[in-house]
Amino acid sequence: MDKLKLLEERIREDGLVLSGDVLKVNQFLNHQIDPDLMYALGQEFVRLYKEESITKILTVESSGIAPAIMTGLIMHVPVVFAKKQKSATLDGGLYTAKVYSYTKKVENTISVDEKFLNANDNVLIIDDFLANGQAVNGLLDICELAKAQVIGVGIAIEKSFQTGAELIKKRGVRLESLARISSFEGEKVHFAGDAEN
Ligand code: G4P
Ligand code: NA
Ligand code: NA
């Protein structure tokens, strides 16, 4: 099956629409993880960005790590995840960015150790969800601080009716989302490009 259809099918089968426009995908992405599906997503990101010479994958803990690591595995490049908590073992300099979560109504600081990102890097940012784009926006800020070049962003599930996709494109960054949700209707998920939309 087509990789994008594979993810859409899985969302239709195992995704649960919760109130507040939230899609629960604990069955294959956010709690239990389906490695075969994650690998298929990685293959698709690699196919989409095959013309580019990417040196590093960047994501944010925790749920971005699964699709990110599969992409890094296939590309044979390191995967760096931004940390949400200050760690006692983070010694040297850090690149940090503020990330406001509309869902949780809290501002978090995410950080990447300076030794894992630099001006020679061509970065592909990967994340599981794109909602309001605050996480990706923070990762873009971190790349700017590191003077790393951002090749693009790869998202597993985009909620196209929220503001994130527009925000990323406004920053002039290429965005590839494997499943694009145009709306929720009761328990039903509508994808961009569906005939019934
Ligand atoms: P944003 O980065 O796009 O602005 O997202 P937002 O602040 O709205 O979301 C906060 C967290 O909720 C993020 O995970 C994000 O991935 C996740 N999220 C947003 N919309 C949905 C949704 O419809 N379904 C699910 N399952 N998650 C959603 P996080 O807090 O960083 O947690 P994690 O990566 O450790 O899981
Ligand atoms: Na995430
Ligand atoms: Na999440």
> ipTM greater than 0.90, yes or no?
yes
Q: Under a CB-based contact definition with an 8 Å cutoff, are residues 156 and 86 in contact?
A: no
Q: Is the CB of 30 under 6 A from ligand 1?
A: yes
Section 34-47 average pLDDT: 98
Q: Is the CB of 55 under 6 A from ligand 1?
A: no
Q: Is the CB of 133 under 6 A from ligand 1?
A: yes
User: What is the Å distance from ligand 1's center to 130 Cα?
Assistant: 7
Euclidean distance between CA atoms 15 and 139, whole angstroms: 27
User: What is the Å distance from ligand 1's center to 155 Cα?
Assistant: 12
165 annotated as a binding-site residue: no
Euclidean distance between CA atoms 77 and 24, whole angstroms: 30
User: Is 143 contained in some domain?
Assistant: yes
Mutate to test the pocket of ligand 1, among 29, 108, 129 (most ligand atoms within 8 A of CB): 129
Q: How confident is the model at residue 89 (pLDDT cuts 50, 70, 90)?
A: low
Residue 145: CB partners within 8 Å, gap ≥ 6?
Answer: 95, 97
Please state whether the peptide bond connecting residue 101 to the residue before it is cis, i.e. omega within 30 degrees of 0: no
The CA-based angle 142-176-168, given to 5 degrees, is 45
Domain that holds residue 166: 3-191
Q: What is the CATH number of the domain that holds 89?
A: 3.40.50.2020
pTM value? 0.95
Q: Ligand 1: which residue has its CA nearest to atom 21?
A: 22
List helix spans (H) across the chain.
3-14, 35-48, 65-75, 134-146, 164-170
Count of other CB atoms within 10 angstroms of residue 166: 13
Q: Under a CB-based contact definition with an 8 Å cutoff, are residues 57 and 124 in contact?
A: yes
Domain count, the chain: 1
User: Is 168 contained in some domain?
Assistant: yes
User: Is 197 contained in some domain?
Assistant: no
Q: How confident is the model at residue 192 (pLDDT cuts 50, 70, 90)?
A: very high
Q: What local confidence, expressed as pLDDT, does residue 197 receive?
A: 46
User: What is the Å distance from ligand 1's center to 41 Cα?
Assistant: 18
Q: Is the CB of 164 under 6 A from ligand 1?
A: yes
User: Is 196 contained in some domain?
Assistant: no
Q: Under a CB-based contact definition with an 8 Å cutoff, are residues 104 and 131 in contact?
A: no
Q: Is the CB of 41 under 6 A from ligand 1?
A: no
